[in-house]
Amino acid sequence: MLISLKAILDLAESRNIAIGAFNVTTLEGIRALVDAAEELDQPIIMQFANAAHSQLIPLEMIGPIMMQFAERASVPVAVHLDHGANFEEVHRALDLGFTGVMYDGSTLSYEQNAANTRAVVEMAEEYGASVEAEIGAMGREEFASAGESSEQEAIAGTYTDPDQAAKFVRETGVDCLACSFGTVHGIYLKTPHLDIPRVGELRSKTGVPIVMHGGSGISDEDFVRVIDQGVRKINFYTYAVKYAGDAVRQKIGAADGNIFFHDIASWGMESMKETYQKTIRVFSKLN
Ligand code: 13P
């Protein structure tokens, strides 16, 4: 069933878990994700990063499919725009019925980011949708698409300042906040070291759920640590599609005779479903 981002985050808060916010770029990814969530009977956020992935599939093509799967799912699903780049993109997602939108003004000045985010909150209110925004830097440009590796490592000087984050939330009225505390998008070249106490401070000073980007490559132990400090939404993409690529390579290597394209799609889907299930289990603290 389709629910708002705010409602799904409230659910996470009541259970002290995080909801996986999985980026989708293919029908196989959408099917794998919904299947995984339904089998585990857990809520999910299905999101599309138009700024990073519009060359793979346009928002207007994948958006209605995401909505249809969310509406028919037996578990709560929020459909979300990831890293919305401007008002026009946010509007397009809201018009499609997305129940959450991220506006990413993190590269702008504080004042400009706050003013634009405030305008997005007003826009989303008209649709009954919820808003995520970001302050601090997380290597946005390096958001890996289709498994391309990222070179950037997080720089402690760009981590989100808890007092500034609290002011930002007061001034904008956002429902949740993406913060920088040691994660980056894409593939880590060095083991990430997360500033865990900062997460707790961000949560208590802002009073809203904290969003962690760059979930791929984080250890299960660190996932649990950040969840216990107040992370309620974890963005995850690169490893799901990387492992699916690895699985397809391995199957092709082992195959005799013809390989049909639908075989490749199924192999990728199976692998993604497995990754989603493992990840959702950790985020939902199952077993
Ligand atoms: P990864 O691709 O590193 O898992 O990050 C996804 C993300 O943060 C999308 O916003």
Q: What pLDDT tens digit does each residue of the chain (287 aa) get? A: 999 999 999 999 999 999 999 999 999 999 999 999 999 999 999 999 999 999 999 999 999 999 999 999 999 999 999 999 999 999 999 999 999 999 999 999 999 999 999 999 999 999 999 999 999 877 544 444 434 444 445 567 789 999 999 999 999 999 999 999 999 999 988 889 999 999 999 999 999 999 999 999 999 999 999 999 999 999 999 999 999 999 999 999 999 999 999 999 999 999 999 999 999 999 999 97
Q: Is 82 in the pocket of ligand 1 (CB under 6 A)?
A: yes
Please report the atom of ligand 1 found closest to the CA of residue 102: 10
Instruction: Tell me the pLDDT tens digit for each residue of 71-100.
Output: 999 999 999 999 999 999 999 999 999 999
- Cα of 228 vs centre of ligand 1, distance in Å, is 20
- Cα–Cα dist 218/238, whole Å: 12
246 belongs to the catalytic site: no
Residue 214 Cβ inside 6 Å of ligand 1? The answer reads: yes
The CATH classification number of 5-283 equals: 3.20.20.70
Question: Tell me, what's the pLDDT at 144?
Answer: 44
Contact by Cβ (8 Å): 152, 184: yes
Q: Is the pTM of this model over 0.75?
A: yes
Q: How many CA atoms lie within 13 A of 213 on its CB side?
A: 30
Question: What whole-number distance in Å separates Cα of residue 35 and Cα of residue 189?
Answer: 31
C-alpha 81/C-alpha 92 separation (Å) is 10
Out of 10, 35, 41, 82, pick the active-site residue: 82
Atom of ligand 1 nearest to the CA of 215: 4
Residue 158, pLDDT score:
84
> Is 23's C-beta closer than 6 angstroms to any atom of ligand 1?
yes
- Residue of minimum CA distance from atom 9 in ligand 1: 235
pLDDT at 190: 84
Amino acid at 5: L
186 CA from centroid of ligand 1 (Å)? 6
The reported pLDDT for the residue numbered 153 is 55
For the Cβ of 180 lying below 6 angstroms from any atom of ligand 1, the answer is no
- The answer to whether 129 and 100 are in contact (CB under 8 A) is yes
Residue 123's nearest CA partner among 157, 158, 160, 86 is: 86
Biggest CA-to-CA distance, the chain:
62
**Cα(229) to centroid(ligand 1), Å:** 20
Contact between 138 and 184 under an 8 Å Cβ cutoff? The reply is: yes
211 in Cβ contact with 235 (< 8 Å): yes
* 106-152: pLDDT as tens digits: 999 999 999 999 999 999 999 999 999 999 877 544 444 434 444 44
Residue whose CA is closest, atom 1 of ligand 1? 214
